[in-house]
Amino acid sequence: MGNCLVAQSGGPTAVINATLAGVIRANQLNPIYDRVFGGIGGIEGVLNGALYDLTNLTSHELDLLKQTPSSTLGTCRYKMRRDNPADFERLLNVLDDANIDAMFYIGGNDSMDTVAAMAEYSITHGSGKRFIGIPKTVDNDLMNVDHCPGFASAAKVANQIVHATALDYAAYTRPEVFVLETMGRDAGWLAASCCVTGDVDLVVLPEVDFDRDSFLDQVKACMEAKGECYIVVSEGAHYADGTYVSAGKSEDDGFSHAVLGGAGAVIKQMIIDAHIAPRGLVQDLSRAARSSNFAQSLVDVTEAYELGLSAHMRSAHPDFTAQVVGVAPRSAEEIAAGEYNARFFARPARELANYVRHFPTEWILPDYRGVTDEALSYFRPLIEGEPKLIMEGGIPATLPPFSRR
């Protein structure tokens, strides 16, 4: 019997390690691989042969792993490129050296493309190695799935913080605006999800070109009507010409995406400069939202774990490669009915890769007024429930990163 490898890619989430735990546990339940290796430091580490044997983690370690946020194997921003076959060859050599038959890659858009590309390369070169993707991303921007593991927990903590800060804001009577900024580079799922609590007045999403004047009109109308205005803005909010609202803060992060941050502060200043309110508060969720193990969604962590199980189980079939295991989309009727029953499926990695799944424009209300009831029905089941966490010293207990062992 050969071995398998699991690696994590891209930005951490609150449940990406639960997926890792699922793969490891599945192999304990049915040891179709001799060893389960973890790739330390993302694909960059794997290319350097940095592997860690995870085969025999104890049940307790796996329980801790499920509630450990971030990528416990470490991650990187290195991208395998189709136009650089040397990397592909090098990866196959690393897998050969460790007698690895199958590689599970937990990641986002770019990683699903890597899965497709590696599987194709492997088939073309007759290596027999197989590549299986498992999604994760707080951005929730993968095509052809209902949602991505990691998103629901980020949405849950965002809603908890929105409601708590909205009550904090409501305690004062002086005129001021409140602006909460969420992650979300190209897609506004996380920002849109903040509407679940009913506290949000206005939402600025990347899916709608930002128009300063019409936005300020809405803020003004809201302040006049209520004396307050709670605004949520996605970091990727931009004008019609593509300029980010946070302009001046972008820099290259190696993927030719812009590194964003500061849209909330810019919007606050815009409102003050327009004399709509004399002051404003900014709450930038930043990293706290995506690594929120203290507020894991039970639906999310369960699905993340089970997707790890599912990927391992399906990989028992020798032809299972270039596939991604995910949660199948709900129908519009299921969403409207508020029903939720996660169905797992496998799809060709190509169908999930490269394209950004935007928040549906038909779910966006005009004039920055938030989202439709259908959108709320989509979000609500995802943030339900809380796992029973193992606490230690007042915070959730975690496993230390394998990268430090």
Residues lying near its own copies in the complex (CB under 8 A): 8, 12, 14, 41, 44, 68-72, 74-77, 156-157, 159-161, 163-165, 167-174, 196-197, 251, 279, 281-288, 290-295, 297, 380, 383-386, 391, 393-396, 398, 401, 403-404
What distance in Å separates the CA atoms of residue 41 and residue 78, rounded to the nearest whole number? 10
Token duo for residue 15: 């449940």
* Tokens 């370690």 -> residue: 61
329: helix, strand or coil: coil
Query: Shortest gap between Cβ of 149 and its own copies (angstroms)?
Result: 16
Nearer to its own copies, 101 or 284 (CB): 284
Query: Shortest gap between Cβ of 23 and its own copies (angstroms)?
Result: 18
- Give 242's contacts (C-beta < 8 A, 6+ positions apart): none
Query: Shortest gap between Cβ of 307 and its own copies (angstroms)?
Result: 20
Nearer to its own copies, 367 or 384 (CB): 384
Nearer to its own copies, 72 or 127 (CB): 72
Residues comprising the chain, all counted: 405
Ramachandran bin of 261, using left for φ above 0, alpha for ψ from -120 to 50, beta for the remaining angles: left
Residues with a known catalytic role: 139
Nearer to its own copies, 14 or 335 (CB): 14
Inter-residue contact 292 to 154 (CB < 8 Å): yes
What distance in Å separates the CA atoms of residue 19 and residue 67, rounded to the nearest whole number? 11
Query: Shortest gap between Cβ of 196 and its own copies (angstroms)?
Result: 7
What distance in Å separates the CA atoms of residue 147 and residue 296, rounded to the nearest whole number? 15
- Cα-based distances in Å from 17 to 75, 107, 149, 308: 12, 11, 11, 10
Strand-pair partners of 210: 239
- Cα-based distances in Å from 400 to 72, 101, 125: 7, 28, 38
Query: Shortest gap between Cβ of 41 and its own copies (angstroms)?
Result: 6
Query: Shortest gap between Cβ of 43 and its own copies (angstroms)?
Result: 12
What distance in Å separates the CA atoms of residue 273 and residue 277, rounded to the nearest whole number? 9
Nearer to its own copies, 148 or 152 (CB): 152
Nearer to its own copies, 292 or 315 (CB): 292
